[in-house]
A = this chain, B = another copy of it.
């Protein structure tokens, strides 16, 4: 039996609104009947919505917060004025150990800033990262960072590699995940100083992972590595480019299958197979950006996710809360941290 678990929910975040969030919670509750929810948001909105969902109501506690974070607010702004928002309170419940994990589909930058402020970053880790689970030919690959950090040096990339392998061991159940550094070519001379510096460090260090060196963009979908490490600028653009490409191919397929009677008939006969394909490519199934490097578990659902998408992110949050990812990151980071200390003491910066 799985142990009881409390999920702290920003019920007001996202474009879709509280109705969608509650529908997602109800859906996830079927799969995780032992989970409790702390619902942060406007009780005048949440309470009436809950009366229609008796089972969810029985497992939920509403915590009123008068305000919420808007999608276009700057993180710095939100940190100043945001203490009464549902997002702040959702994270606060994790900081106060009332809940094991917080989830929100609101403003990513604000969520990260608040999480860093309230939960703190794991000691000696410079910056947290956001990880995504990416469908591949051989299952799933963990890609990070997909948007938390615009500029990244060698040390930060090494940190991401440690966080990624710890996550893959905890969540994907791999003993010794393979890790690749995303680059423009496989040869040692390729890329910028950050990726070359990180590769040099990762080649020489003993961690519970197999370091593959550099991998390229097409290696992600091929499933060449269990974990792909990159800076948040490149990772974010790669993730959205892949989503766009998958949608484009499905669009081309749909258009092709509408042309002519034979194609239509064929599509009808193969409709079960095409449905399987659609399910496999459904971006909602892999929804959820996982914040790694914090002293607490926070999951970000896509801002425009519907109930199915938010429920996937909830599943990820529950898995994360039950797996001991943070102690694994702390233990493995203790292996690499002395390298950076040594480098900065001798004045030879790793980046």
Contact = CB atoms under 8 A, between A and B. Distances in A.
A318 to B, nearest CB: 27
Contacts of A136: 248
A256 B273 contact: yes
Interface in A148-196: 150-151, 182-184, 187, 189, 191-192
Interface string A207-218: 000000000111
B234 A247 contact: no
A249 to B, nearest CB: 4
A8 B336 CA distance: 52
B260 A272 contact: yes
A232 B192 CA distance: 11
Main secondary structure of the interface of A (DSSP, over half): helix
Contacts of A244: 217-222, 242
Interface stretch (A19-27, A31-39, A89-97, A262-270): A262-270
A341 interface: no
B217 A237 contact: yes
B252 A273 contact: no
A257 B234 contact: no
A200 interface: no
Contact of A239 (B72, B217, B259): B217
A289 interface: no
Given A236-B184, A247-B221, A192 B151 contact: yes
Interface residues of A, number: 64
A281 interface: yes
A305 to B, nearest CB: 15
B281 A249 contact: yes
A67 to B, nearest CB: 21
B234 A237 contact: yes
A72 B187 CA distance: 8
Interface of A: 72, 74, 135-137, 147, 150-151, 182-184, 187, 189, 191-192, 216-222, 230, 232-234, 236-253, 256-257, 259-260, 262-263, 265-274, 276-277, 280-281
Given A217-B243, A245-B245, A266-B266, 19 more contacts: A72-B187, A136-B248, A182-B237, A184-B233, A191-B233, A192-B233, A217-B236, A217-B238, A220-B241, A221-B245, A221-B247, A234-B237, A237-B238, A242-B245, A249-B277, A256-B277, A262-B269, A262-B270, A266-B271
28 contacts: A72-B187, A135-B248, A151-B192, A184-B237, A217-B239, A217-B240, A217-B244, A218-B244, A218-B247, A221-B241, A221-B245, A230-B237, A233-B234, A237-B237, A238-B241, A241-B241, A242-B244, A252-B277, A252-B280, A253-B277, A256-B276, A260-B272, A262-B273, A266-B268, A266-B269, A266-B273, A269-B269, A270-B270
